[in-house]
Amino acid sequence: MSTYSGQLTALGRVPFVLVELTTAKRCTDTYADGVTCTATDLGDGSRCYYSWHTCQKTSDFTTGSHTWRFFTQGVPIPKTIMEAYPFLLPHVKSATPVASAIDMEHGFATTEKVKVVLFDAGGRDAGGTALADCPPFDLDKSTRNTTRAGSFWRRWLAQWPHFKNMDVVIWRGFSTPTFPTSELLKVWSGKLEDVTVEQDGTVTLHAVDLLRSVGNLLPPPTSTAMYLTAVHSRSATTLNVSTTVDITDPTTIAGNVTVQVVTATGTKERMIVTAKTATTLTVTRARFGTNAGALPKNATVSEILAFRDMRPLAIVADILDRLDIPAASIDSAQFDVEAQFIGPATCEHYVEKPTEARQLLFDVLEPFMAFLFPDEGLKIRACASGPARIGETVGTVTDASNIASKPQPKFALNDRGRLTHCTVYHGLPEGSDDVKKATGAVVAINDGNYVSTYYGSTREDLQGKTIKAKWLRGDDGYTASLAAVRWARAFGAAPARFTWSAELKDAGTKVGDLVDITSKAMTDAHGAAIVTRAIVVTKTPIGLTGFTFEAVPSQFELLHRAWVVSAPNVTKRWAFIADAGAANWTTASAAEKARCYVGSAANLMSDGAQGYSLI
């Protein structure tokens, strides 16, 4: 309990927003110095502004970065902030990030756009000099208007018309004389998409998040037909092609660039490209289950995506790389941890036609109940839904501090989250969705022995989940069954959704985090509040001072449920070795013993329970 004086001090705090806008292409030379820049000084009103658009000697342009920072107007700027950022501009009227939410149907955290509204006023340019020397406002060069635009953002647009994909970061804090910069809280980050000068004198910035490019097509669509221009023997490793303009340069991605050559009779050969020129491809022949043969002239050539014997998150990382998402923006260490939880599954799939990357990612993640989301640290993370691991931090939420409210009925009929059975089809023929040609693994949450009754409910109450696992090939019924069990465990009962409000200090809670909620909205038979473990699925900023969170209770402890499964050994338990410092068997809690210990040679724990197979 804080003191009265502490409460009084808190009332005097005023929240602020700090918006950062960063370009990665600002020249670091000194204009017309004769050394770094050999351009001729054209005098006031005609000088360079260190952007590519205004450069007068592009051969001397040296790429660097620069950050503009904007502060909430009308709020006193803390001395510490002013000292850290001397060219801070008090232009911010509002900054409104949209909610971060896990789309449980499609496996993505959706954050779409952020809207930043700024006052248009005078100020300083990128170099900190007065804006009297700005170029004329003439974006498309159709006219040469010699009258200066007369405001910061119009001039900025004249200098930086190629603003798309600049980095946007939003920070929040409280205005106090001694506010430390280390307490600035990053609440959003993404890429600038649009700048609009409004009629009321304000400027609106729209930015999108890191997963903005998942709508791109992979493999890239071709602009012109590609075909062999000569006959090639079965041993030839250099192919003569009409054009390679639409083939990905193998030096630009970490994974393989694969092409498929198809003859007039329909024979296919897949090859890995190791180098290319304008009209030749250097290749490794007969890859991914195909055989090398003589190739006739005019055989068609196309780029495809080829994934074989790859772990699901390795495929995800490969797809993100092909979308030009920098490796530094992917939390690879966290990917490795989540890959352990997914288990030993591998995938095989060939994508021969341009397909939205969003769909490809969804298809490979769906069977394992995994999803992607960008966190506040400019990192893309993966989450494979599951129980807390030893050493994992689980947040707490109680009625005393953050009011939990609006729970849906725990066992609402026909709730979309209530799953009665899950079917995973695998081994689908290439390019086919016909489940009659595939093998199905069915898991039912059932107290009886008949799949048709499930809970013993009426037929109208059945809630089935069907997954066409195109990426699980061949006789992979074991992995398909594990995937079905994961869905059955997670959504065996209709989840109650908890919504609670939190202050700025709680903004460290992220989408995908586990929290233990204590609320009288969930009670035992005696009316006492119970603790419910839940996964945070929505995070919505409210004004400048807080957030609303929504969480769905997880059902990962429901190991007592009966399953009807079409594959043997589906209930075999998997584990990975716990981190150093984890409790030993003697001191471990019951929950720890249920997850992280390897059994004897007979695959039994000391209490007689089934042991674990190591991933």
Per-residue pLDDT tens digits for 274-321: 999 999 999 999 999 899 999 999 999 999 999 988 989 999 999 999
Q: Is 93 exposed, middle or buried (0-12, 13-18, 19+ CB in 10 A)?
A: middle
Q: What angle do CA 291, 297, 303 make, to 5 degrees?
A: 60
What's residue 584's pLDDT? 65
Backbone angles phi, psi at 83, to 5 degrees: -70, -35
The total number of structural domains that make up the chain: 3
- ∠ CA(538), CA(535), CA(562), 5° rounding? 135
Q: What pLDDT sits at residue 581?
A: 63
**251: domain range?**
212-356
What is the Cα–Cα distance from 41 to 57, expressed in whole angstroms?
11
Residue 44 and residue 128 share a domain: yes
Model pLDDT, residue 432: 77
Whether residue 363 lies inside any domain: the answer is no
204 and 219 in a single domain? The answer is: no
Say if CB 131 and CB 123 are below 8 A apart. yes
Residues 219 and 166 in one domain: no
Q: What is the pLDDT of residues 524-576, one digit of tens each?
A: 667 677 777 777 877 777 766 677 777 766 543 322 223 333 323 334 444 55
Residue 374 identity = P
User: How confident is the model at residue 270, as a pLDDT?
Assistant: 96
Final residue belonging to a domain, choices 189, 208, 227:
208
Q: Is residue 332 part of a domain?
A: yes
E-assigned strand segments in 390-492: 395-398, 404-405, 421-426, 439-444, 464-468
Whether 179 and 320 map to the same domain: the answer is no
Cβ atoms of 494 and 415 closer than 8 Å: yes
pLDDT of residue 204: 87
39 and 174 part of one domain: yes
Say yes or no: 31 and 158 in one domain: yes
Q: What is the mean pLDDT of each run of 10 residues along the chain (615 residues)?
A: 50 81 90 92 86 90 92 88 87 76 58 77 47 39 40 83 86 84 80 82 79 84 92 95 94 93 94 95 94 95 93 92 84 84 81 90 84 72 66 67 45 47 80 79 52 43 74 75 69 59 73 76 67 76 72 45 32 51 66 55 59 51
Q: Is 328 inside a domain boundary?
A: yes
Answer yes or no: is 534 within a domain. Answer: no
Q: Which two tokens stand for residue 551?
A: 């969480």
Does residue 560 form part of some domain?
Answer: no
Tell me what pLDDT residue 468 has: 85
pLDDT at residue 439 in the model: 81
Domain shared by 114 and 171, yes or no: yes
Q: Is residue 137 part of a domain?
A: yes
* Domain membership flag for residue 499: no
Identify the CA nearest to 475 among candidates 451, 442, 441, 443.
441
pLDDT score at 460: 46
| Residue where one domain finishes, among candidates 165, 192, 208 | 208
Q: Looking at residue 601, what is its pLDDT?
A: 57
The pTM of this model reads 0.63
Picking from 208, 229, 256, the residue at the C-terminal end of a domain is: 208
- At residue 115, the pLDDT reads 84
Establish if 365 belongs to a structural domain: no
Query: What integer pLDDT is reported at residue 530 of this predicted model?
Result: 72
